Structure formats: structure tokens, C-alpha cells
């Protein structure tokens, strides 16, 4: 196997969206040209077609394209009539948008610690945090690994709670053979460029089997109207762009191939790191992980990250601060030590170079350097 020097370590990116473009360049260019020649750029035929195609892929009844994954969460909450005085349970270890969306609609995030191996919400802790104000649970399928939806849905049904799946990082993942995003009352998708199914700009989608929820999201994304200029509620300007929809339709045709390549690369990483002090990602027995990121755990992370960078291996930290310690949530009274698993993850996790077009040599080279650094 070639060493990292032989594969030009300085050229190993953390992720490479340009490589993906070049792999499907003709298809993407044709799709963009057709949109430009058609001259319809807002809520056109590509948005409508993508909504149907994503819904079919996930096996749900409805998809509604919106401007971002964050907007998908906000509009889903609004469509479920969650707002001031309501509480929403979620994990403390996730991207801030999950909590931010809840706060934007006036509701209160109620945080739970996560499982140490999958980083998913610790289901066993949820029941104790349910109060008469609780209206919903937001499981986050973090890094591409599904949360335990069987247990979450059972609890939600018993306690009459809504379930909003934050599926921003796990498009194509599965729990017991069902796609993430398809099992709750609502699923929220992000098409941020770095996601497994990523646009060339911002974008998102709300998916659901409930026709009334879908209709409310459609109204909310266009100023609260069904008929133009006749608003029935206060809504937003949150529409998925026609150009991005055209690009996503092309990429959707390749998503299974790319996700499978992610799984192959992840298996290579994990095998090569076996026997080292580096903690590798887990995959639960009921899960199909799609590895949005390849996340390892290391001690003395700052030193490890610095030395990897010096030797040409870029890394990133997702996320350096759990939600309960974030400034916008301080008024809720959380303190350091409240969620030790989330706090430890925030101190130890590190994302290695990872993207479907990555070569086997790049994986081996990155691991060789990591092994040298961790000793």
C-alpha cells in the first residue's frame, strides 16, 4: 500500500465536493442548463419532482422543499403547533440548529444526554424528563447513525407526543429496514453542500405521511398563503430553489452508490485503527449507518489535531460545545457536569478526512499518520 507521501498528503482534503461534481459533471451541467433555458426559478417543476422523488425514496406520502435544514425544523414545529409554553425533548450533543429552531418558535428545549457509542439520544433518560408541557421529542440521527426509533416511537405513542426526526445528517440511513426521516410524525432534511445528499447551496425538506401537516408547511414556506397574496397565517419566505432542486435530482440517483462507498471507507478506517487507542464509530444491530462523517475519539485532541495538520491530514471538530453549555441556553439553568457523555464527546471527537470519492490510499495514508501521532 502506498504511503501518504506517495499520494501527496498535502492534497488530501477533509471532504471534496469538487470531486463529486466532476464524477457527474455532464448530468449536473445538463440539469442546470435546462433550468436556465426554462426560465422558471422559484417553485418550478424540479422542486415538485424532487419532492415526489425524495418522498418515494423514503417511502412517505409528502415532501415539501424549503430553504434550509434549519427552516425545515422551524416549519415542522410550527406545522405541529408547537410554541410558547411547550417543551421539546432533544439530545444535548448535536448541532445548535436543533435547539435554535425550538427556541425560534418560542418553545423550550429540554436536553437529554446521549449514548457513548452512537451519540444518539439516550432513550432510557427521556421518560424522566417528560412533563405536562412536553409536546414532542426530536431524535437526531447524528453523523449518519439512526437513533433508536422503535423505543422512541413506543414512548411517544404512550405519552401522546409528536416525534420530529432531525435527519439532516443521515439521508439513506435505516433503522430496522426503515429509512430515517420516515418514521416520526415529521422528518427534517438538510441539503447543505457537505451532506450525503448535498446541493450547491442551502436547501432542506420536510417529509411526512400527514397530508394536513404537509399542507401547513407548504403554506408556511410561502408567507402563510394557499392562494397567492391571501395569507391565512404568518409564514416565511422559505422555498427550495429550482436550481438546487435540479441538482439534487441528479444526485439522488447516485445516493445509494455514494452511501455504500461511505460504508466501505468507514470499514477500512475502523479495521486499520483496530488495536490502537483511537475510538472508532459504532453501528448498532438495528442500524444502517451512512457515515455523514467519520468520527473518532482521541485523548489530548488539541495536540492530535495540531500534529495531524502539520503532517498534511486535515480534521474538524463536531461539536466543541454541547447544547447545555451554549450561551443561548444558559437561562435554562444547565451546568457543566449535567450531561457527562455529551461533554466528553465534545472534548474527544474528531472528524477525519472522509468523502465517497476518497481513495483507499488516502485512507491508509491518513491512518498511518494518525497512528504515529497517537503513539
Contacts of 302 (CB under 8 A, 6+ apart): none
The CA distance from 154 to 156, in Å, is: 5
Q: Note the pLDDT of residue 8.
A: 54
Cell numbers at 119, concatenated: 451519540
Roughly what angle, to the nearest 10 degrees, separates helices 301-310 and 360-374? 130
Length of the chain: 375
Evaluate if residue 295 carries a pLDDT over 60.
yes
Q: Note the pLDDT of residue 3.
A: 47
The CA distance from 291 to 31, in Å, is: 27
CB-CB neighbours of 41 under 10 Å: 13
Contacts of 32 (CB under 8 A, 6+ apart): 243, 246, 247
CATH code for the part of the protein at 255-374: 3.90.1150.10
Evaluate if residue 131 carries a pLDDT over 60.
yes
pLDDT in tens, 155-164: 999 999 999 9
Mean pLDDT score, 146-151: 98
Q: What is the pTM of this model?
A: 0.96
* Domain range annotation of the chain: 25-252, 255-374
pLDDT in tens, 180-203: 999 999 999 999 999 999 999 999
Q: What is the mean pLDDT of the chain?
A: 96
The CA distance from 172 to 197, in Å, is: 9
CB-CB neighbours of 129 under 10 Å: 13
pLDDT in tens, 57-101: 999 999 999 999 999 999 999 999 999 999 999 999 999 999 999
Q: What percent of the chain has pLDDT over 90?
A: 97
Q: Note the pLDDT of residue 5.
A: 55
- DSSP-derived 3-state class of residue 162: strand
Which of 3-7, 101-105, 129-133, 207-211 comes out lowest in average pLDDT? Answer: 3-7
CB 141 within 8 A of CB 188: no
Q: Note the pLDDT of residue 11.
A: 74
Evaluate if residue 53 carries a pLDDT over 70.
yes
- Beta-bridged to residue 87, according to DSSP, are 108, 134
Q: Note the pLDDT of residue 7.
A: 47
> Whose CA is closest to 253, among 51, 27, 61, 47?
27
In the chain, which ranges are E strands? 62-66, 87-91, 108-112, 134-137, 162-166, 174-175, 178-179, 186-190, 204-208, 287-288, 295-297, 349-351
pLDDT in tens, 247-282: 999 999 999 999 999 999 999 999 999 999 999 999
Class of domain 25-252: alpha beta
Mean pLDDT score, 21-28: 98
Amino acid at each position: 500500500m502506498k504511503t501518504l507521501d506517495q499520494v501527496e498528503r498535502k492534497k488530501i482534503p477533509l471532504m471534496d465536493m469538487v470531486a463529486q461534481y466532476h464524477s457527474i459533471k455532464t448530468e449536473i451541467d445538463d440539469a442546470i442548463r435546462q433550468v436556465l433555458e426554462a426560465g422558471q426559478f422559484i417553485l418550478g417543476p424540479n422542486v415538485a419532482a424532487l419532492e415526489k422523488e425524495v418522498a418515494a425514496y423514503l417511502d412517505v406520502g409528502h415532501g415539501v422543499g424549503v430553504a434550509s435544514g434549519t427552516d425545515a425544523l422551524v416549519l415542522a414545529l410550527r406545522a405541529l403547533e408547537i410554541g410558547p409554553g411547550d417543551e421539546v425533548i432533544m439530545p444535548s450533543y448535536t448541532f445548535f440548529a436543533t435547539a435554535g429552531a425550538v427556541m425560534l418558535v418560542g418553545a423550550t428545549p429540554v436536553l437529554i444526554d446521549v449514548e457513548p457509542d452512537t451519540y444518539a439520544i439516550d432513550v432510557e433518560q427521556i421518560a424522566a424528563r417528560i412533563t405536562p408541557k412536553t409536546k414532542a421529542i426530536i431524535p437526531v440521527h447524528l453523523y449518519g447513525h439512526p437513533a433508536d426509533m422503535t423505543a422512541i416511537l413506543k414512548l411517544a405513542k404512550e405519552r401522546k407526543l409528536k416525534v420530529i426526526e432531525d435527519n439532516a445528517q443521515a439521508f439513506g440511513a435505516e433503522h430496522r429496514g426503515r429509512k430515517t426521516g420516515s418514521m416520526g410524525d415529521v422528518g427534517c432534511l438538510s441539503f447543505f453542500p457537505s451532506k450525503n445528499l448535498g446541493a450547491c447551496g442551502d436547501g432542506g425538506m420536510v417529509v411526512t405521511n400527514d397530508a394536513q401537516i404537509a399542507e401547513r408547511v407548504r403554506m408556511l414556506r410561502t408567507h402563510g398563503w394557499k392562494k397567492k397574496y391571501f395569507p391565512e397565517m404568518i409564514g416565511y419566505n422559505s422555498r427550495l430553489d429550482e436550481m438546487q432542486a435540479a441538482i439534487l435530482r441528479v444526485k439522488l440517483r447516485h445516493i445509494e452508490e455514494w452511501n455504500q462507498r461511505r460504508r466501505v471507507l468507514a470499514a477500512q478506517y475502523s479495521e486499520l485503527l483496530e488495536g490502537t487507542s483511537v475510538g472508532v464509530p459504532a453501528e448498532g444491530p438495528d442500524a444502517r449507518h451512512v457515515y455523514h462523517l467519520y468520527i473518532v475519539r482521541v485523548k489530548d485532541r488539541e495536540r492530535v489535531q495540531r500534529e495531524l495538520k502539520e503532517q498534511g491530514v486535515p480534521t474538524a471538530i463536531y461539536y466543541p460545545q454541547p447544547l447545555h453549555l451554549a450561551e443561548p441556553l444558559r437561562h435554562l439553568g444547565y451546568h457543566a457536569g449535567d450531561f457527562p457523555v455529551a461533554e466528553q464527546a465534545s472534548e474527544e471527537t474528531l472528524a477525519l478526512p472522509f468523502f465517497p470519492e476518497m481513495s483507499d490510499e488516502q485512507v491508509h495514508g491518513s491512518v498511518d499518520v494518525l497512528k504515529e501521532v497517537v503513539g
